[in-house]
Amino acid sequence: MIKLEKIYRWYQTGSTRNFVLRDINLEIEEGSFVSIMGPSGSGKSTLLNVIGMLDQADEGSYTFMDQDVFRLKEKQRVELYKKHIGFVFQAYHLIDELTVFENIETPLIYQGYKGSERKSIVSDMLDRFQIVGKKDLFPNQLSGGQQQLVGIARALAGSPKLLLADEPTGNLNSRQGEEIMDLFKKLNEEDKVTIIQVTHSEKNATYGNRIINLLDGRIEQE
């Protein structure tokens, strides 16, 4: 599903290059649950950005579902990831001015679903995550755990093949965190969603079936 070859990413400061990613070679099969670990500044988020097509590499090639991502035009790339990739953020990043229902609905609008279809998909999601009662609330009326549930529901609304999560439990207490990780595991096993998560927590990493360690922009070991 994902194939990264000789990926380099650097920032130019003056005449020196600060490498964030060096020589990343990585293949991820469909249906896997991968955890990326490593200390702060090791390049985890950048790697996730590259995989999620929000950022480009300076060198190397990236194949996603048989498409050469770096060769695609901006518009095609957006089409590709909006169809296949969902994001979950550490800080949830819900839109404050929209209700729970509307937040989940937004990506469907961008994907061109009709009103009635959107409604039934969102209702499904609300049911599935047991937040029907919260559908008219705004994000700031929810607890962190509930917000993250909405975030995940939003990410899954368009039935993506790949879910990218950036420290999804980072802002949650341990009980809420466990619930989220259980949910991820269930999604991966029952709905066959491929998941790549960035995490600091050894415990969370064990939910997955593969761990990638980054250090100074390189893959250390697997």
Residues that bind another protein (CB under 8 A): 45, 48-49, 52, 54-55, 75, 78, 81-82, 86-87, 89-90, 93-98, 102, 105-107, 109-111, 154-155, 158, 166
Minimum distance, C-beta of residue 99 to another protein, in the bound complex (Å) = 9
Distance of CA 3 to the CA centre of its chain: 17
Given its phi and psi angles, is residue 145 left (phi above 0), alpha (psi -120 to 50 degrees) or beta? alpha
Question: CB of 105: closest distance to another protein in angstroms?
Answer: 8
Residue 164: count other Cβ atoms within 10 Å of its Cβ. 24
Nearest Cα residue to 161 out of 75, 80, 68: 80
Measured N-to-C along each axis, helices 144-157 and 174-190 cross at an angle, to the nearest 10 degrees, of 20
**Least separation in angstroms between CB 120 and another protein:** 17
Q: Per the structure block, which two tokens stand in for 143?
A: 């607890």
CB of 217 to another protein, least distance (A): 15
In whole angstroms, the minimum distance from the beta carbon of 185 to another protein comes to 22
Of the pair 29, 83, the CB lying nearest another protein is at: 83
CB-nearer residue toward another protein: 156 or 181: 156
> Which residue, 31 or 52, is less far from another protein as judged by CB?
52
Q: How many CB atoms lie within 10 A of CB 55?
A: 15
Nearer to another protein, 153 or 183 (CB): 153
Could you give the CA distance from residue 16 to residue 3 in angstroms, rounded to a whole number? 29
**For another protein, which is the closer residue by CB, 39 or 182?**
39
